[in-house]
Amino acid sequence: MKMNVESFNLDHTKVKAPYVRVADRKIGGNGDVIVKYDVRLKQPNQEHMEMAALHSLEHLTAELIRNHADYIVDWSPMGCQTGFYLTVLNHEDLAEIMDVLELTMKDVLTATEVPASNEIQCGWAASHTLTGAQALAEEFLAKRSEWGQVFA
């Protein structure tokens, strides 16, 4: 039975992380196109990101990716802790999205702190690790050539 949520219709046993794919595309009433990308770092049901590292990579990427693209709407973690959703406005160039992600992950590697990781700007400021986020970014970048292959 087809479900309303696109990722619930994806056979998670057939994908091969890491990858970047278009997960959803919607056209607004004025013709704007919203595209949601599935940015998968970990193999579903076999591995996951530890929460503090995921949280820090979320903060770092959300802040740094906007230095490379003005069409970013949102960068949000998946509850299963295997990846993130990148939502963009009026931009459907998957190759460019991958390039922007690559540049951003390289920025993560040179970051000296996790942005907004304090009690004023974050809802769980104690749950952060710069080195954990950098390890995730480094692992993701090491397999850059594989990002375009979604299925094994």
The string of pLDDT tens digits covering residues 37-58 is: 999 999 999 999 999 999 999 9
Residue 115 domain-assigned? Answer: yes
DSSP string, 41-56: -S-TTT----HHHHHH
- Enter the tokens of residue 151: 């299925």
The number of distinct structural domains making up the chain is 1
Parallel, antiparallel or unpaired: strands 72-77 and 19-27: unpaired
| pLDDT mean across residues, the chain | 98
Reported as a single tens digit per residue, the pLDDT across 90-116 is 999 999 999 999 999 999 999 999 999
Looking at residue 107, its pLDDT comes to 99
Domain that holds residue 128: 12-145
Residue 27 domain-assigned? Answer: yes
What is the C-alpha to C-alpha distance for residues 45 and 42, in angstroms, rounded to an integer? 9
Looking at residue 4, its pLDDT comes to 95
Which of the four pLDDT bands, split at 50, 70 and 90, describes residue 140?
very high
Which residues partner with 39 through β-bridges? Answer: 20, 84
Q: Check which CATH number belongs to the domain holding 125 and give it.
A: 3.30.1360.80
Residue 51 domain-assigned? Answer: yes
- The whole-number average pLDDT for the span 114-136 is 98
Residue 134 domain-assigned? Answer: yes
Looking at residue 104, its pLDDT comes to 99
Residue 72 domain-assigned? Answer: yes
What is the C-alpha to C-alpha distance for residues 117 and 23, in angstroms, rounded to an integer? 29
Residue 3 domain-assigned? Answer: no
150: exposed, middle or buried (Cβ count in 10 Å: 0-12, 13-18, 19+): middle
List, edge to edge, every strand of the sheet that includes 83-89: 19-27, 33-40, 83-89, 72-77
What is the C-alpha to C-alpha distance for residues 73 and 89, in angstroms, rounded to an integer? 6
Spatial contact of 121 and 46, defined as CB atoms under 8 Å apart:
no
Residue 151 domain-assigned? Answer: no
| pTM, full prediction | 0.97
